[in-house]
Structure 1
Amino acid sequence: MDTGTHIVMGFALGGLAMIDPIVANSPATAQSVLIAVVIGSQAPDADTILKLRNNAVYIRHHRGITHSIPAVALWPIAITGALFPFFPEANLLHLWLWTFLAVFLHVFVDIFNSYGTQALRPFSSKWIALGIINTFDPFIFGIHIVGLMIWGFGVDPVPTFLTMYGIIVVYYVLRFMLQSAVRHSIKSTIPEAENIIIAPTMRFYQWRIAAETKEHFYVGRAYGRSITIHDKFKRIPVPETDVLNKAKTDKNISAFLSFSPIYRWELVESDDQYEVRFIDLRYRSNDHYPFVAVVQMDKDLNILSSYTGWIFSEEKLQRKLDFLPNE
């Protein structure tokens, strides 16, 4: 989920913590738990700082180790240990338990996005992405805001947030049902599809879709059960050539390939250089595919410049390549 949603989830969890008699009857525990769950709801995204280095590092590691099984165990210990000296009268066990729940929920809800997490590390580096909730979901964010406002007016937070989370559970079930219906429609439209990716949007009934068969890639949109195919590309495996093999050693290309499950590639040769592009097919927007990885090499296969990330115009991409040689 986005940062804003994680923040409001933290405050809501702090209100729900009043269901715990130990928290409700101890001001020190209640105060420390509220602070801890807000921090815990953000802690796994500490790896966002990697973006300051470059996109390749960020793409390869974001929602990786900080969302792993060891991290889910260690974040609550670190947060509890940091806060307890300021609240020595707080109940240490219950402070840790609620902090653990906040961290766990952060990782758990991220699994439902199309970006996903490596939540099973160190046992598996596979990205788990169920793709039923958009990174920012207006309904989930909005219902949290409503719940917090009701709490702010003095209403008991426990029934308020229990009701809210009950509604959210029903919402998730509905999203699963909608995604299943879309998948069935895609299989009816493209019976030979081998791999189907369905990504949510901010609109309840609209989904981005990408599918591959042995011969083609298909990219489109779904509205309810109605499927519209916008693009169809010949599926050409990446060949084992010197140019492509060298391109795959670049850190930006390597990071992209480690993350993207469905993409096409292009090779453009000019008089003095090669340009290789890998294009993620999941994020088509306004006839454009913004998530790409590009590497430029001279004729001796020396890497001159490379980039991976979100680009919405060719002009901006070329400026990035000129400004950030071999980023």
Structure 2
Amino acid sequence: MDSLTQIALGAAVGEATLGRKVGNKAILWGAIAGALPDLDIVASPLLDSISRISWHRGYSHSLMFALLFSPILGWLIYKTYKKKEATWRDWSLLGFWAIFTHIVLDCFTNYGTQVFLPFSDYRVACNNIFIIDPLYTVPILICIIVVLFIDRTSRKRRLLNAIGLGLSSFYILLTLIFKFYAGTQFEHSLREQGITYQRYLTNPTPFNSILWRAVAESDEGYWIGYYSLFDRSRQISFQFIERNEELIKPIEDERAVKMLKWFSDGYYVITNHHGLIKFNDLRFGEFAVSEEEAQFPQNFGMSKARNFRYVFTFVLLNGSENDENDISILREGFSLKNRDAVLKQLLQRIGGV
């Protein structure tokens, strides 16, 4: 999730863990601990282009990190204050729960979190909440801000913080229910249209949990469709995109290609753009491209499109930092030139248009 959400969650968890003993100090250190796992990006410039892919949401997002680092953090906080309102163990528990809840929350997004490192590089991704969702963040944020101004011994303070955490947790539960329901609609529509597939994923579109996107994998490519919980019709329009596996057949054993396949969980398409071979991760969405390639209108399944650009695209390049015969990767930047139009389309599709 985004940094603001993780800071707010960490602050609320800190308050729930130790607020009665130390007051706003618990909120401060909970917020700091809640943000710590995402500081893994600081080391990214020191890594090669391939290693960066597995580094983010890697060791700093593992249960092992939470267990090993929280006592160190707890000791540092304990030594910071001359007045010992809380013990080393108290501060360690605060650090653990703030880091642990950060990890758990990230598991609900579609990026993938390597919770079980160093024993397994399996990436947990429930795909039920977008990385920025105001309906999750706002209740926690409002409640924790108000809590700052209430006496630490007040029952109202604990109750208000519990309400914020409770509402946001309930919303997570709702997104799981919505995801299950949307999945049944996608399965029904795929079956009705006679589309055969091996597996599929569903994830929410930006900033909401009403409009869902499905990517169903077949032998040669993927069927992509959108469904809003407010859609009047159960008939979902799917569009087929070829995988184009043959474009990377000669280099399929390269470290870069293997890493990208692992990162994308096997949901990818390969494109050749003016001689550049691009690896496109389908999990993060696609944008329709006009014939002039001047704009990126995201139609959210509102109409058919011939060409797409993808939110996560990696260019495969000949030569690496260590060996000119290796394959390296370059993350292609992405920006929208017509954000207002995209937002309008998103709101329309959320509403079932």
- TM-score relative to the length of structure 1: 0.80
**Structure 2 equivalent of residue 279 of structure 1:** 280
Instruction: Please state if 1:164 is matched with 2:169.
Output: no
Identify the match of residue 221 of structure 1 among 215, 218, 226: 226
Range with bigger deviation, 228-237 or 276-285:
228-237
The letter for the 1-side match of 2:180 is S
Q: Distance in 1 between matches of 2:276 and 2:248?
A: 16
**Structure 2 equivalent of residue 61 of structure 1:** 55
Q: Distance in 1 between matches of 2:68 and 2:237?
A: 45
* Preserved CA contact (<8 Å) 1:36 1:80: no
* Preserved CA contact (<8 Å) 2:183 2:202: yes
**Structure 2 equivalent of residue 92 of structure 1:** 88
The letter for the 1-side match of 2:187 is K
Q: Distance in 1 between matches of 2:43 and 2:223?
A: 33
Relative distance call for 1:69 and 1:10 in structure 2 (3 A) is closer
**Structure 1 equivalent of residue 139 of structure 2:** 143
Task: Deviation per CA, 1:85-126: give whole Å up to 9, x if none.
Answer: 112523111111121111110101111011120102223211
Shift of 1:214: 2.5
The letter for the 1-side match of 2:163 is T
**Structure 1 equivalent of residue 211 of structure 2:** 206
Relative distance call for 1:80 and 1:31 in structure 2 (3 A) is farther
Q: Distance in 2 between matches of 1:5 and 1:240?
A: 38
Shift of 1:60: 1.7
Q: Distance in 2 between matches of 1:35 and 1:280?
A: 37
**Structure 2 equivalent of residue 5 of structure 1:** 5
Identify the match of residue 27 of structure 2 among 31, 34, 41: 34
Shift of 1:47: 0.8
Match runs of 1:255-266 below 5 Å: 255-261=259-265, 262-266=267-271
| Secondary structure class of the residue paired with 1:288 | strand
* Preserved CA contact (<8 Å) 1:295 1:303: no
**Structure 1: which 5+ residue stretches go unaligned?**
314-327
Instruction: Please state if 1:311 is matched with 2:334.
Output: yes
Relative distance call for 1:305 and 1:152 in structure 2 (3 A) is closer
Shift of 1:184: 0.9
The letter for the 2-side match of 1:222 is Y
Q: Distance in 2 between matches of 1:52 and 1:239?
A: 29
**Structure 2: which 5+ residue stretches go unaligned?**
288-297, 299-307, 337-353
Range with bigger deviation, 146-155 or 214-223:
146-155
Q: Distance in 1 between matches of 2:24 and 2:68?
A: 21
**Structure 2 equivalent of residue 74 of structure 1:** 68
| Secondary structure class of the residue paired with 2:125 | coil
Shift of 1:131: 0.7
* Preserved CA contact (<8 Å) 1:195 1:212: yes
* Preserved CA contact (<8 Å) 2:247 2:270: no
The letter for the 2-side match of 1:124 is S
Shift of 1:24: 2.5
Q: Distance in 2 between matches of 1:123 and 1:229?
A: 42
Q: Distance in 2 between matches of 1:165 and 1:177?
A: 19
| Secondary structure class of the residue paired with 1:210 | strand
Instruction: Please state if 1:290 is matched with 2:308.
Output: no
* Preserved CA contact (<8 Å) 2:15 2:24: no
Instruction: Please state if 1:194 is matched with 2:215.
Output: no
* Preserved CA contact (<8 Å) 1:196 1:211: yes
The letter for the 2-side match of 1:295 is L
| Secondary structure class of the residue paired with 2:309 | coil
* Preserved CA contact (<8 Å) 2:268 2:279: yes
Task: Deviation per CA, 1:284-317: give whole Å up to 9, x if none.
Answer: 132531311212449xx9569741244348xxxx
Shift of 1:79: 1.0
Shift of 1:159: 0.3
Shift of 1:233: 2.0
Task: Deviation per CA, 1:129-180: give whole Å up to 9, x if none.
Answer: 0011111111111112220233245373210111222222321221111101
* Preserved CA contact (<8 Å) 1:67 1:107: yes
Q: Distance in 2 between matches of 1:97 and 1:276?
A: 48
Q: Distance in 1 between matches of 2:94 and 2:328?
A: 47
Q: Distance in 1 between matches of 2:315 and 2:255?
A: 10
The letter for the 1-side match of 2:31 is V
The letter for the 2-side match of 1:291 is F
Q: Distance in 2 between matches of 1:87 and 1:31?
A: 14
Shift of 1:216: 3.4
Segments ≥4 residues shifted beyond 6 Å: none
- TM-score relative to the length of structure 2: 0.74
